[in-house]
Structure 1
Amino acid sequence: MNEAAAADGAEGTEPEVPEIDLPGDAFDAVLDALADRDPDDPLRFEGFGVARDAGADGEDGDDAAGGYRLDPADGDPRTGLTERELHAALADRAPAVTDWYAFERVVGEFGPRRAFLRWLEDADGATVATRYAALAEGIERAWGELKITATVTDRGERRYDVRHADDAGVPVDELDAYDDPLDARDLVKRDAKGRYRPLKTAPSLAGGWVFPDLGPRDAYEAVETIYPATVANWHREREGELDVNHWRETMARQSGIYGVVKTWDRGEGYEHVNWVAEACCDDSQCLKRREWEYDDDTDLDVDGGDGAFPCREPCSVVVSAARKWTRLESEQPRTYEFELTPSEKEQVEDIIDAVADGRIDEIREADTKEGANRYRTRFLRAKLFDDEGNFAGVPTDPDEDDEG
C-alpha cells in the first residue's frame, strides 16, 4: 500500500477495521491514567472518553461499586460502570484504546520519535478506523533510500519493516535479517562496492538487508542510526525550531588546517560557495535538503534539493572539500593551448559530466558512441598524452619544463 492509502479511506465510507483484542497492558494503562485524573477530567479517545464516576458509591474503580463513566461523543453517558463493565466497553472500542496506548504509553514523549512514528501512518490526519484498515495491509513510507512499512497486530501493537527501497517486495528470507537496530551501524559504513561512505546521507546506501519486525522505539532507533539526526532536524523544522548555521558563520568557527577556508571570504563575494553547493549539495550527492545559505541576508543561487529532511549547516564533507578547493583556487591561472577536434572537445565535456554525475558504471563497454566510454577514452589518451602523461604534450608548468 502506498503512503497515501491511509488518507484515501477518509474521503469515502469508513473502511472495515480489523478485529482488535484489548490487551491487559492497555486496559491497565487506562486505569492508571484514570487514577491520576479528576472525575471532571475524562481520558479522551477518538469518539469517546472515560472518567472516574464522581456519583458512584464506594471507592473509585471498585468492581462492585461502579466507579467509572463512559462518555460517547454521539450519545448519552453510561455511568456507574464497574471495572469489568468498563473493560467490556473498552474492548468494544479496542482500536481507539490501543491507538492511544501505542502512542501515549509505548512511544511516550512528545518529540521527534513520536512525531515521526505518527507521520508514518498519518496519525494526525486520518481516523483510527482508516489507519487500522490501512495498517492491516501495511502502510509504506519512504525516508531517504529506506522503505518503512508499518503494520498492526491483532492486539493493536505497531510493527515495522525497515529495508532499502531497492529491496521492496523481496521476501525476508532472501535478505539478511536483523533485530537489533544498532546493527545498522555496520550496514551504513560501505556502499555496494565496499567503499567507505563518509557521508551517511549520500544516496549510496547498500541493500540486501532487512529489519523485518521492529517495535516503535527500535524502528526509530534504526532509522536514526542509518540517517543520524535526520528525524530530529525534520521535527525541529516542523515545529519551526530548526536552527540554521549559514556558510559564513560555520566557516568562521573553523580553525587549524581548516582555517584556510576563511580566506575565501575576503572580498571575493560568494560565487565560490555556489560552486561548493552545486558540487556537494545536489540531490544526486546528498539526500538532505540544504537550508543553509551564504549568510542571513544572502541566498545562494543554486537549488537546495528536494530531500525530506533538512540540512541545517555545511557538513564536515563540505568543509573538508572546501578546504581542498580553497588551496587549489589559490593557484595563479595560466594559459594552455591544445589542439582538439570538435568531437574531442565534446568528448572531454562528456567525460567530465559522466564522472561528476557518477554515470561511468552505466556506460557499456561496447557503446563507443558515448564520449565517456572506456575504450573511446583510452583511445583519446593514447592519441593525446605524451610519455610523461601530459595532455596534448603540454606540461603543467611550461616554464619549469623550459628550464629543464
Structure 2
Amino acid sequence: MADSTPATDGGEAVDDEAGDDGTATPEIDLPGDAFDAVLDALDDLDPGEPLRFEGFSVARDDEGGYVLADGGRPRPMDERELHEALTERAAAVTDWYAFERVVGEFGPRRAFLRWIEDADGETVATRYAALAEGIERAWGELKITATVTDRGERRYDVRHADDADVSVDDLEAHEDPLDARDLVTFDEMGRYRPLKTAPSLAGGWVFPDLGPRDLYETVETIYPATVANWHREREGELDVTHWRETMERQSGIYGVVKTWDRGEGHEHVDWVAEACCDDSQCLKRREWEYDEDTDLDVDGGDGVFPCREPCSVVVSAARKWTRLESEQPRTYEFELTPSEKEQVEAIIDAVADGRTDEIREADTKEGANRYRARFLRAKRFDDEGNLGGVPTDPDEE
C-alpha cells in the first residue's frame, strides 16, 4: 500500500487517527446519506442488538435513544449526540457505508472491491491513509488505482498498465463501463481479438473516475467472468470442466475432436495446452486437466484469475489439429546447411512466441530476420513456392 502523511506547515500530522504504520488518515466528513443509513439499519434491529463498526458499536435502547460502546462504559445518547459521536468516527462509518450500502450484497463484486484495498486484512485507518495516496492493483493488463474522497467515497481509475504514468489528458477518457466493449475488440495493430484474456489489450484509454459498481462492470467487460471465477475459487466453489468432459459434449463440426484422445504414447492434449494456455498467450491460469484423475504434463500458468474449462479458442484449434494429426507422417530429405537448419528453428520460435515484430530489419544475425528468411526462400524454394525436397519412400508422392 502507498503511504500517506497529511501534514501542517510545521510537518505534523493534522489527523489524530493513524494507521498501523504511523501514517495519518485523511480527515473524513460524515455524509448525511451515511448517517441516515446507520439510523435505518438500527431501525431494522431489535433494541439492544448492536450495529458493529470497526472499534465500536451502536444499538437502540428501549426508550428510543441510542447506546454507543467502544470498549469502555456504554454511553446513552440521543440522535444529535449520536451524530456527533459518529462524525468523530467518520472513517469507520463511511467504510461501513461504502461496503454495506453502496456496494451491497456479498458476492464477487464486494469481494473484489475489498481485495483491492485489502479490507479484510488492514484497519480502516491504514487503508484510508493508503487510499489518500492511491492503492494500485494489477488485474491482467489493467492497472486499477483506488482513492477515497473527503466523504469516504471510493473512486477508481482504470487503464492499461502500459499507460500507468500517462496523464489523463493524454488518454481517451471514458465514463460508461459499456464503452469497454469497443476497447477490447481489436489489438494495437487493429487485429480482432477472439480471446479477451489474451495479453494483447490495446492501450491509450482511461476510465478516470469510476464508482464501485461501475468499476466492477468495467473490469468484467474487459475480462468477462474473471472476477466471478476468481471469487468462486476463493470460496472453494470453482467448478472445473476438464478436457475429456468438454470434448465429449462437442457436436457438429467440432465433433471430430472427440476422436482425438490422449491414449498411451500420445501427448496431443499436452501440445494443445502448451500452445494455447501459456502465460504468453492467455492471462488465465489453467485449472482444467485431461480429466479429474489425469493431470497434463505442462504448466498451467501464473495468472491471477483461473480458467475453469477449455475455451472456444482451444476447442477450435484442437479441431484443426485433430484433422492435421490424422495425416500419416512421411519422411522427406532436404538439403540444408547447419546454419539453415538453425535458421528454420529460429523462425519457428520467433513466430510461435510472437517476436517477429521485434526483430530489426538490419539485424541479419537473427535467424528470423526478414531478409535472411527471404534469402533462404530464394535459395531453397522451387518456382512453385515449395521447399525443395523429396520423400525418401519411393511409394510416396
**What's the TM-score, normalizing by structure 1?**
0.92
Q: Does structure 1 residue 44 correspond to structure 2 residue 41?
A: no
Equivalent residue for 2:133, pick from 132, 137, 141: 137
Name segments (4+ residues, structure 1) moved above 2 Å.
Answer: 10-15, 266-270, 392-401
Map 1:341-356 onto structure 2 (within 5 A).
Answer: 341-356=337-352
Distance 1:214 1:270, change over 3 A: farther
Structure 2 equivalent of residue 77 of structure 1 = 74
Equivalent residue for 1:201, pick from 194, 197, 201: 197
- Whether the 8 Å CA contact 2:25–2:126 is kept in 1: the answer is yes
Equivalent residue for 2:35, pick from 27, 32, 35: 27
Structure 2 equivalent of residue 64 of structure 1 = none
Aligned-pair CA distance for 1:38? 1.4
Could you tell which deviates more after superposition, 180-189 or 266-275? 266-275
Equivalent residue for 1:284, pick from 280, 284, 301: 280
Q: Distance in 1 between matches of 2:266 and 2:32?
A: 62
- Whether the 8 Å CA contact 1:158–1:215 is kept in 2: the answer is yes
CA RMSD in angstroms, aligned pairs only: 1.9
- Whether the 8 Å CA contact 1:14–1:129 is kept in 2: the answer is no
- Whether the 8 Å CA contact 2:178–2:218 is kept in 1: the answer is yes
Q: Unpaired segments of 5 or more residues in structure 2?
A: 5-17
- Whether the 8 Å CA contact 1:258–1:323 is kept in 2: the answer is yes
Q: Does structure 1 residue 259 correspond to structure 2 residue 267?
A: no
Map 1:86-101 onto structure 2 (within 5 A).
Answer: 86-101=82-97
Give CA-to-partner distance per residue, 1:345-366, whole Å, 9 cap, x none: 0000000000000000000011
Structure 1 residue identity aligned to 2:360: R
Map 1:2-401 onto structure 2 (within 5 A).
Answer: 13-54=21-62, 56=63, 60=64, 67-73=65-71, 75-79=72-76, 81-265=77-261, 267=263, 271-394=267-390
Give CA-to-partner distance per residue, 1:64-118, whole Å, 9 cap, x none: xxx0111103x21111x11111011000000000000000000001000000000
Aligned-pair CA distance for 1:400? 8.0
Structure 1 residue identity aligned to 2:273: A
Three-state SS of the structure 2 residue aligned to 1:265 is coil
Structure 1 equivalent of residue 9 of structure 2 = none
- Whether the 8 Å CA contact 1:150–1:159 is kept in 2: the answer is yes
- Whether the 8 Å CA contact 2:19–2:25 is kept in 1: the answer is no
Q: Unpaired segments of 5 or more residues in structure 1?
A: 61-66
Aligned-pair CA distance for 1:244? 0.2
- Whether the 8 Å CA contact 2:331–2:393 is kept in 1: the answer is no
- Whether the 8 Å CA contact 1:40–1:51 is kept in 2: the answer is yes
Three-state SS of the structure 2 residue aligned to 1:205 is coil
- Whether the 8 Å CA contact 1:270–1:294 is kept in 2: the answer is no
Three-state SS of the structure 1 residue aligned to 2:259 is helix
Q: Distance in 2 between matches of 1:13 and 1:162?
A: 27
Aligned-pair CA distance for 1:14? 3.7
Structure 2 residue identity aligned to 1:39: P
Aligned-pair CA distance for 1:37? 0.6
Q: Distance in 1 between matches of 2:392 and 2:219?
A: 48
Three-state SS of the structure 2 residue aligned to 1:337 is strand
Q: Distance in 1 between matches of 2:319 and 2:78?
A: 72
Identity %: 85
**What's the TM-score, normalizing by structure 2?**
0.94
Aligned-pair CA distance for 1:270? 5.4
